[in-house]
Amino acid sequence: MPFPNKVKEEALVKSRRCCCICNEFAGVYVNVHHIVHESKKGSNTIENAIVLCLKCHGEVGHYNEKHPIGKKYSVDELKNHRDNWWEWCHDNPSVPLPKNPVSVSPSRIELGHGEWRTKSLLNIYNKEERFYYQVCVKIGTESNEVQLENIGIEPIKGANDLKLQANSIEVDPSVIRMLCIDQADNKVILLIIRSMEPHGVCTFEIQQPTSPSLSSEKTHGLTFAISSFSEEPAASGESSTGAFINFIPPEPLTVLRLAMLLRRI
């Protein structure tokens, strides 16, 4: 049985007819999708509904379990995307839809506490027909109990490959992770993606280890925002002392730690 019209309407209104994954306005090109498929006893209530554009619906709906390629969307991940987007729409009812040429989704991930660990996917989209460079994603926390140092960030796909030789080791500086103190005196992580191709997507897996130290009375979250991007590539190259990349920070920063993110091949 499909969703009753009332449920479909509610989902479309809550989503402002935007896709809950890529957050693009989809107009009439939308699907109200069952998060848990009906054949697996998924209900026809709003709890089980997510609005998806045709592209994301294809990605979510046509995963072939018999020929697994890549990483399947999980039920919790879809619910997270949906809840984040509905929350944004609810909190910003009169704000124009985000028009930033580069966007990040979700804008918030809720972390577990106690024996729970969190694993979520973070997507960065280039919506335009052109390259963007030094795309900088700022990752912050809502509570000082969260140790940003312990958050794992692993590139899954999309970051452009560029190999540099440094001390005879081949490194891939396509994504740089910086732990810093920002202008507002908050500890944050900056993820700097070297370049994003036209309509490109970069996907990262965000991992939180089990955190018995987090109090259960409060909710703990990570927040994600695009803090800057450039229309020009950054200078890079090799000198007699090693490889270098010029990076222009989006704001005055105190850098505590810097690392290249290596991708598993």
Q: Which of residues 18-37 bind Zn ion (CB under 5 A)?
A: 19, 21-22
Separation between Cα atoms, residue 150 and residue 138, nearest integer Å: 16
Query: Applying CB under 5 A, which part among 45-53, 66-74, 125-133, 164-172 lies near Zn ion?
Result: 45-53
Is 56 or 190 the residue whose CB approaches Zn ion more closely? 56
Contact status: 175 vs Zn ion (CB under 5 A):
no
Contact status: 176 vs Zn ion (CB under 5 A):
no
Separation between Cα atoms, residue 52 and residue 60, nearest integer Å: 9
Question: Strand ranges (DSSP E) for the chain?
Answer: 30-34, 49-53, 102-105, 108-111, 118-126, 132-141, 152-157, 164-166, 169-171, 175-181, 187-196, 201-208, 220-230, 236-239, 242-245, 254-260
Task: Kindly state the smallest distance separating residue 56's Cβ from Zn ion, in Å.
Answer: 3
Q: Which two tokens stand for residue 248?
A: 């222009």
Is 61 or 209 the residue whose CB approaches Zn ion more closely? 61
Alpha carbon separation from 260 to 45, 131, 153, 173, 264 (Å, rounded): 44, 21, 11, 6, 13
| Contact pattern from residue 83 through residue 122 relative to Zn ion, giving x for each residue in contact according to CB under 5 A and a dash for the rest | ----------------------------------------
Nearest-Å Rg of the Cα atoms of the chain is 20
Task: Kindly state the smallest distance separating residue 96's Cβ from Zn ion, in Å.
Answer: 18
Q: Give the count of alpha carbons within 13 A of 229, CB side only.
A: 24
Out of 56, 104, 139, 188, the only residue in the binding site for Zn ion (CB under 5 A) is 56
Task: Kindly state the smallest distance separating residue 68's Cβ from Zn ion, in Å.
Answer: 22
Is 19 or 102 the residue whose CB approaches Zn ion more closely? 19
Is 50 or 137 the residue whose CB approaches Zn ion more closely? 50
Q: Which two tokens stand for residue 263?
A: 């991708």
Give yes or no for a contact between 53 and 15, defined as CB atoms under 8 angstroms apart.
no
Q: Residue 63 burial by CB count (10 A; 0-12/13-18/19+): exposed, middle or buried?
A: middle
Contact status: 53 vs Zn ion (CB under 5 A):
yes
Separation between Cα atoms, residue 130 and residue 231, nearest integer Å: 9
Query: Applying CB under 5 A, which part among 7-15, 49-57, 78-86, 251-259 lies near Zn ion?
Result: 49-57
Task: Kindly state the smallest distance separating residue 186's Cβ from Zn ion, in Å.
Answer: 31
Is 85 or 247 the residue whose CB approaches Zn ion more closely? 85
Is 22 or 202 the residue whose CB approaches Zn ion more closely? 22
Give yes or no for a contact between 180 and 188, defined as CB atoms under 8 angstroms apart.
yes
Is 81 or 138 the residue whose CB approaches Zn ion more closely? 81
Task: Kindly state the smallest distance separating residue 206's Cβ from Zn ion, in Å.
Answer: 20
Query: Applying CB under 5 A, which part among 48-56, 64-72, 160-168, 252-260 lies near Zn ion?
Result: 48-56
Site for Zn ion, rule CB under 5 A: 19, 21-22, 53, 56
